[in-house]
């Protein structure tokens, strides 16, 4: 009997190995190293180093996905990396001219990774080809496990739209990004440094009340994100200055927020040092637009 059990167990293990290729096993065995690399990059204070390193990291992740295409964690890492590189180094330029067209392309690649996971979770089609009502119905069935895919899909779609406002067909998709991010807010408001609140801070603050903006709601969302991060995440102040304070023409608060970002200690938030360095760089660029905007 024991021998029969051992034989059965052997054939079970062989069948499992057949279902999961050696390449997939290798990729999954390497995931702790990838996790460590992502954590290390988030703590990077040298923008030049990050600028040179992130594309290589993206290529590594894409290569691993060729061997393990259903690895959800790698898809999220890829989406996050494309977004971070586009936002931090391409959109406004860093050691190169600003390139909205290339940034748009990178946001599309980000969306491809996160959107694919939504389709695996039950979305019948791409976000662009799904009616708003049907999209809302589908994602309301998603649970907390879908939050990363929802968040990065909303974030990348919104940034792509923001860079392509000259096409009405793109602007019409913004309500879908809002629906996706609202679901994130409902399921896990504090995911990724409470960034759903940052999203809505920008969304309500970037438009005049006559066009659907709501400065009070914007203020509330930015305040919640700041509180969650103990006022150490500089991107909150940066985006509040860029969108809310610019829209309500508060020149003094605009300068106060940006100066706080620029003068902040590089180790204010060690776990998120890279995004804070990106915020500092972008704040210095925004300061140059002060006379133009006010």
Give the pLDDT of residue 138.
94
Give the pLDDT of residue 7.
45
Nearest to 73 by CA among 105, 40, 42, 113: 113
Q: Is the pLDDT of residue 214 over 90?
A: yes
How many alpha carbons lie under 13 Å from residue 220 in its C-beta half-sphere?
5
Two tokens, residue 283: 């704040």
Give the pLDDT of residue 16.
46
pLDDT band at 20 (very low <50, low <70, confident <90, very high): low
Q: Is the pLDDT of residue 4 over 70?
A: no
Task: Output DSSP code: residue 270.
Answer: G
Cβ distance 15 to 9 under 8 Å? no
pLDDT band at 1 (very low <50, low <70, confident <90, very high): low
Beta strand spans in the chain (E): none
pLDDT top residue among 168 and 232: 232
Measured CA to CA in angstroms, residue 192 lies from 24, 212, 258 at distances of 27, 26, 23
pTM given for the model = 0.91
Task: Look at residue 139 and give its three-state secondary structure.
Answer: helix
DSSP string, 43-110: T---HHHHHHHHHHHHHHHHHHHHH-TT-HHHHHHHHHHHHHHIIIIISS-SSS---HHHHHHHHHHH
Q: Is the pLDDT of residue 284 over 50?
A: yes
Q: If you average pLDDT over residues 191-207, what whole number do you get?
A: 97
125-153 pLDDT, tens digit per residue, is 899 999 999 999 999 999 999 999 999 99
33-73 pLDDT, tens digit per residue, is 889 999 999 999 999 999 999 999 999 999 999 999 999 99
């Amino acid at each position: 009997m024991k021998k029969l059990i051992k034989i059965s167990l052997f054939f079970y293990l062989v069948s499992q190995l057949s279902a999961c290729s050696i390449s997939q096993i290798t990729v999954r065995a390497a995931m702790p190293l990838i996790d460590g690399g992502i954590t290390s990059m988030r703590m990077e204070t040298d923008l030049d180093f990050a600028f040179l390193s992130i594309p290589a990291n993206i290529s590594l992740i894409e290569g691993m996905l060729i061997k393990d295409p259903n690895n959800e964690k790698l898809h999220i890492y890829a989406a996050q990396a494309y977004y971070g590189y586009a936002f931090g180094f391409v959109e406004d330029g860093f050691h190169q001219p600003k390139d909205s067209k290339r940034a748009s392309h990178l946001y599309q690649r980000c969306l491809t990774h996160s959107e694919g996971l939504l389709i695996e979770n039950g979305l019948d089609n791409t976000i662009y080809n799904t009616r708003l009502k049907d999209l809302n119905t589908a994602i309301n069935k998603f649970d907390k496990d879908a939050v990363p895919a929802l968040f990065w899909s909303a974030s990348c779609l919104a940034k792509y739209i923001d860079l392509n406002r000259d096409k009405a067909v793109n602007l019409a998709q913004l309500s879908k990004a809002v629906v996706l991010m609202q679901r994130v807010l409902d399921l896990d408001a504090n995911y990724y440094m409470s960034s759903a609140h940052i999203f809505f801070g920008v969304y309500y603050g970037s438009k005049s009340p006559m066009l659907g903006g709501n400065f009070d709601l914007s203020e509330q969302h930015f305040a919640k994100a700041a509180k969650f991060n103990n006022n150490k995440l500089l991107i909150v102040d940066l985006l509040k200055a860029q969108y809310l304070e610019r829209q309500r023409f508060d020149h003094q608060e605009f300068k106060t927020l940006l100066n706080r970002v620029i003068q902040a200690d590089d180790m204010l938030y060690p776990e998120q040092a890279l995004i804070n360095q990106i915020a500092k760089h972008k704040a210095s660029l925004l300061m140059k637009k002060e006379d133009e905007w006010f």
